[in-house]
Structures are given as structure tokens and as C-alpha cells.
Structure 1
Amino acid sequence: MVHAGLKGIVAAESEISLVDGERGQLVYRGEWASTLAKEKSFEEVVYFLWNGSFPSEKALKEFSTKLLEARYLKPYQKDILDRLPDSMDMMAVIRTVVSSMGNKADTFPSTEQEGIKIVGLIPTIISYRYRSLQGDPIIEPDASLSHVANFLYMLKGKTPDENHVKALSAYFVLTMEHGLNASTFTARVIASTESDLVSAIAGAIGAMKGPLHGGAPTGVIDLLEEIKKEGSAERVLKRKLENKEKLMGFGHRIYKTRDPRAAALSDITSNFYDDEEFKLAHEVENKAVELLKEHKPGRNLYANVEYYAAAILRSIELPTELFTPTFTAARCAGWVAHVYEQNQNNSIIRPSSTYTGEIPEE
């Protein structure tokens, strides 16, 4: 029996995460991802995901310092960024610069420092390229800011709003890992050949680039914009449902109940009512869930993480073309964790295929 896309096939055992769509659960190494997003920093969760335990105060400081030091582009990397054509999309740019990080000293199994170098640098690649294309001065990293706060600072050139940092940090934690998705599987396949970490991450970026995996939530943003312009969530949502249109940002192909990532982001941003974009997002979510129960009873359709990603994007005024790159900056930590795990108990990944062509005559 052929399972198209390997759907339902177990290809690996992993201690990194559990994605339970039936129960609406997301677990990182025995901890609820939603709890980690509310109580831990990005740096703490990355350390936890890679090491299986939370860092001591000393270990966290050392790890955070290494991640901070990895933010800085080398001269040759700036030269690459300056020479790439303006027509090249951001994901291809990230992939190219990450590919350039490989060298003869890369080892198997991969080291923590190799992972730190990649995770630390991707936000800088994004901000450098984006500001260059806008004709704005390049902003160097600020050593006093956390990983996520510094990303916003380098993009905007000003100290970011505290609520924006909280929301985006939670988003980074909740999207850094999500089981054996397309990009993560790609990273593990490459790692299974005993290739280096840079190659595995470059391949994962290539998979994330595809719109079926890392596509921007433009439909959600369009929905929120339409509601804001018309001034009535109920009127717009009812019209769409009566016209048999899909409500973008609601429902998920894995989660059969509320997406736990969306639930966590909803809780975290629930008191940000001084921010009009988050206030609108909450009002629309509540009304949409109410109307979906009326129009599509029994379907259990709730807001997904893409919905709140759009709300965060709108609030921090991030252009839609930076959504997938920002998603990549978060998910990269999960890719690295899976490469490390693959390295520890490696077996080359090589599924079979069923031949459907002709057989030559004997």
C-alpha cells in the first residue's frame, strides 16, 4: 500500500516533541509548549530543546552570550548580501548565506556551537537584507537585548515595544518545533547521510520556502483588514460563511480541536488591549468561533497559529514578505534539535517507492 507523502508512516522515534492533533496538545520534551511560551525565554527553550534539561543560571548566561556573539555578520557574508540581486527572495537569500557558513572543520556529529552560529545569525541576515532593499541604514545588533528583542530592533532601528517582544517571543517558542513536518524531515534526511549541519539546515530552508509549508498568512491579514475597514466583524464573517467562503486562519489539518499554539498566543496577548491590532484579533476570533459553531456544527473549527501570527505581524508592522523568514528564524532551533537527535542514533533514511512504469520484454 502506498502512503502518498508518507502520511501516517512513522519514520523516526523522537524525544523532542509530541504533536497530538486529536487532543490539541503540543509537548516539548515532557513540558507543555504553551507553558514554556508563557514562562520561559527563547534562549531557555532552545537550550532545553537541545539538551533535554533547563539551564542553570550560569549555563543560561554562557549560552545566551554565545548566541549573542553569533549575531554578527562576517565581512564575506555582508559582501554576499550586498552582491545578491534585488530580485532574489528573502528565503533564497537566507539559504545562500547559511550555505556559505559551511567549512572543512564541520564535524559529524554536529556540535552545539555550529547550531548556535546558525540560529544566532538568521535574524541578522533578514534585517540586513530587508533594510538594504528599503535603502535604510543597517542597524548593528544590540548586545543588551534578548534574541527576539534584538531582531525587532535591527528591523525597526528603535527599541521595541515590550508587548511586541512578549508576543513575538511567545510565537518563536511555539513555532520552533512541530514534529516531523516537511522541513524538519528534510533536515533529518540530510543529517542521516552524515552530512554537516549547515547542509541539513540549508535543505530545511529550501523546504520551508515552499508555499504549502511556510506560506505567509496573507489571507488572514486580508480578512482582518476587511473587517477593520467595514467596522463589523459579525457582518463580514456572516457574509463569508453564507457565501461558502473559508474563514482564513480557522481550522487545522492536524489539530481537530483548538490549536494549542493559538490558544497560548491568545492568552498571552489577551491583556494587550492598548494595542488595537490585538484587540481586533481577539474580537474577531471570538465572533468567528461563535458563527462557525452555528454554520458548521460539529466541525470544531478554531483559530490556528497562523491566525495569531497574522495578528502579531500586523501589530509590529512587519511586512508580509517577512513572515516566512521570521517563521524560519524560529523553526531553525527545532531543525537543529532534530539533527542532533538524528546524529545520536543514526540510520540513513531511504524509503522505497513503487514502480509504475513499463517492464521491458525479456
Structure 2
Amino acid sequence: MVDSQNAEDSIACFSPGLAGIPVAESAVSYVDGKKGYLEYRGIDIEQLAEKSSFEESSYLLLYGELPTAKELKAFDEKLKHHRRIKFRIRDMMKCFPESAHPMDSLQATVAALGMFYPFPTNLEGELDKETIDSVCVNLISKMPTLVAAHARMRHGDDPIAPRDDLSHAANFYYMLTGDEPYPLTERILDVAFIVHAEHEMNASTFSALVTASTHADPYTSISAAIGALSGPLHGGANEDVLHMLDEIGSVDNVEDYFNRKLAKREKFAGLGHRVYKTKDPRATLLQKLYVELTEKVGVDTTYEIARQIEKLSRSTLGAKGVCPNVDFYSGIVYRKMGIPTDLFTPIFAIARVSGWLAHWKEQLGQGRIYRPSQIYTGKYGQSYVPVEER
């Protein structure tokens, strides 16, 4: 009989979902969940949201330092130059069903990019900087084009070619709608990109690193991250928040809805986070952006419902560390800008690719595949029984 002592001894080390177990060392970002604090490379996210741009924040994540004016200009020019996608990628999208979720389209097309931009398969040696930089630029610059192209083609419209005279945020909005955004809309979308760009070892980042540790090409690794982000417990939660708010329908219905959910011990979309035990700083920033936007176009019922839910949650769930996370207000902001609900998570991915790539770069050259163990809970020492005796 197989000795089960080792399995029994290891049960004490078991942590569902790897909660609290470090799986890597990283200098990319830092989160203090108790204080509700987030830094990129040591710089507070609030400072970046106020003073930086997505392009500059991406450079910071990728290279570890804020760029000089010359470095930022060169990086921005590279991003603009590589926005266009191959016509065969567009042809592939035309074959997708109209009902395909934009995240499924994005995952498939990002994986397909790897066939057009082959990456070295032997990673035992050190990769040259030019190869690494080209991958990062290619993915950051092309993902908005992939999302916007699919969003238009699924409705029978031609994709709109990117423009080199617009910022990353403004160009995405233009490719999506055909209109240049107002300065406030551009700024709001840019800040949304910044606050979604990185968040240490989350499920999608870990998925990218697990895939990359096998020496899979980076396009495959980022495709794996997109798959993880699509889940409703990760990036897909922003869609669920709006579904919840629409279901409630009116501020007058909030208290009854909240109490019923609370009595049944059901989860509230957009409330709670595995790391934060106070209000997510990104939620605070997005809420401020929404308020700034409503000064121009007015407040709607959806936001008032959300505020009432947050108010009721403070005295009940807040004491347990269940507070609004980044998804609670992001969807409300995007809807106010006229962006369809099923594009909320792809926008998350457009931003988060910078963080994924920063971690991918950090892991390069380590040469150690992720191979965790498990706790076996099955039987031992069983004998095979011939089929005629079963």
C-alpha cells in the first residue's frame, strides 16, 4: 500500500487559491490592502492618475523608471507606428460569430499575432533588448486596434484605421466611435487605462507567468492572461456590476434589494477584494472621474443606485473589509462615455497588458517552470477488477 503520510503532512501547508503564498519576487508594483494603497515602481497611483499619461505609466512599468522627454517621445512614436494590424487578422475576425464576446475575440486574435511575429523558442540565452522591446510595443499598440475592429465588424461596419496624431486613449475612442473624444473624455479614458494597468500578482498576471515559464511565446502568454481576465471573478466583474444596478432599477429599490442579498449571504458585484480591506484606491479615482464627467453631462440613476449601495455596505460589509473595488465604478464611467457593456473588460485588458508585460520581462531568463504540488485526496492501494466482475 502507498504511504499516505506525506500527503497528510502537507495538508497544513495547503492554501486554497494560493492565498497568502508568494509565488514570485517583483519590483513592478506594491499594494497595501489594509491602507488601500497602490504604487507602480514606487510611485503612488494617485500621482500617476493626476500627472502622468498611459504611455508614460507603461514606460515606467516596463523599464522601471520614468522616461526623459526624449525617451517618452521615442516610445510614444513606436506605439503609434505599430497600431495597424495585418489584413489577415481582420479577415479572421470576419469569420467570428456576431454573438462572440469581445474578450473571446481578443484572446483569439492576440494568440494569432504570434504567427505573424515569430518569437525565439530557445530562451536559455539572454534575449536582446530589441526583441523584447518589439514584443512589448507590438502588444500595447495593437490591442486597442483589435478591440475596436471587432466591435465595429460585429455590427457590419468597417474597422476604422488608427491615427498617428492621437494619444493612446484618444485613438482607441476614435477607432471605436469614428469621432475624436472631447478633452475630458480623453483624459478620463487615459486615467482609466492608468489605474487598470497593473496590480501585482493577480489571477491574469499569474496565468501569463505560468504560461511564459514553459517558454511559450509572449503572445500565447498574454492570450492566457486575457482568458483569466475574462472571468466574472476577475475583470468580468465590471459587467456584473452594471447588470446588478440595472436589475435594481431605482434608488427606492436599493434598501430592499440590499437587505435581501445580505440575508441570503449572497455576494454583491463590485464589493470585496482578495487584497484590499478598505475601499480600493482605484475605485476612488474612478468615482472622482465620474463626478467630473457629470458636471458636463449630468448624473444618472445608475450612479445614485451605486452610491446608495456603498452607503448601506459601510455599516455592514465594510466592518468585514468588504468595500468597493475597481469594478464598482469603472462600468458606470464607461457607460457614461457611451461604451457598450461587453467592451468594459476588453478595455481592462488594453490597459493591463502593460503590467502583464512588465512581469513577463521580469521573469525572463529565470528558466524555472511553475510546477506546484497538490494534496491528493483519493484512494490508495486499489486492485484492478476485470470488467466481467464489475
The correspondence for 1:82, drawn from 94, 98, 115, is 94
Is the 1:277–1:315 contact (alpha carbons within 8 Å) kept by the matching residues of 2? no
Contact persistence 1:174–1:261 (CA under 8 A): yes
Aligned residue among 241, 258, 272 for 2:258: 241
Where in structure 2 are the equivalents of 1:81-230 lying within 5 Å? 81-103=93-115, 105-107=118-120, 108=123, 109=127, 111-225=132-246, 230=250
Q: Which consecutive residues of structure 1, in runs of 5 or more, have no partner in the other structure?
A: none
Query: Letter of the aligned partner of 2:211 in structure 1?
Result: I
Task: Output the CA distance in 2 between the equivalents of 1:151 and 1:294.
Answer: 40
Give the count of matched residue pairs: 358
Tell me which moved more, 169-178 or 104-113. 104-113
Residue 262 (structure 1) aligns with: 283
Q: Does 1:316 align with 2:337?
A: yes
The alpha-carbon distance between structure 1 residues 73 and 291, as it changes in their structure 2 partners (threshold 3 A), is same
Structure 1 residues 301 and 276: alpha-carbon distance in aligned structure 2, compared to 1, 3 A threshold: farther
Conservation of the 8 A alpha-carbon contact between 2:232 and 2:240: no
Aligned partners of 2:237 and 2:269 also within 8 Å: no
Query: Which deviates more from structure 2 when the two are superposed, residues 44-53 or residues 25-34?
Result: 25-34
CA distance in 1, matches of 2:320, 2:301: 24
Report which of the two structures shows the higher radius of gyration computed on alpha carbons: 2
Picking from 55, 58, 71, the partner of 2:83 is 71
Give the percent of matched residue pairs that are identical in Structure 1 and Structure 2: 37
TM-score scaled by structure 1? Answer: 0.90
Question: Which amino acid in structure 2 is aligned with residue 197 of structure 1?
Answer: P
Q: In the aligned structure 2, how far is the partner of 1:239 from the partner of 1:11?
A: 42
* Offset from partner CA, 1:66-110 (integer Å, 9 cap, x none): 111121011222222223333433222212221222257413446
Alpha-carbon distance, 1:131 to partner: 0.7
Please, which runs of 5 or more residues in structure 2 have no aligned partner?
1-11, 384-390
Structure 1 pair 251–193 and aligned structure 2 pair: CA distance change class (3 A): closer
Q: How much is the aligned-residue C-alpha RMSD, in angstroms?
A: 2.4
CA–CA separation in structure 1 for the residues paired with 2:257 and 2:18: 34
Separation in 1 of the partners of 2:309 and 2:149? 38
Whether the 8 Å contact between 2:238 and 2:345 is mirrored in structure 1 is: no
8 Å CA contact 1:177–1:333 kept in 2: the answer is yes
Q: Structure 1 residue 347 and structure 2 residue 359: aligned?
A: no
Deviates more, 1:115-124 or 1:284-293: 284-293
1:327 match: 348
Task: State how far apart, in whole Å, the 1-side matches of 2:327 and 2:234 are.
Answer: 12
Q: How high is the TM-score relative to the length of structure 2?
A: 0.84
Partner of 1:214: helix, strand, or coil? coil
**1:144-164 Cα shifts (integer Å, max 9, x gaps):** 111111111111111112222
Instruction: Return the match for 2:311 from 290, 295, 305.
Output: 290
Q: Distance in 1 between matches of 2:33 and 2:341?
A: 27
Q: For residues 362 and 41 of structure 2, what CA distance do their matches in structure 1 show?
A: 12
Deviation at 1:289, TM superposition (A): 3.8
Give the superposition deviation at 1:292: 2.9
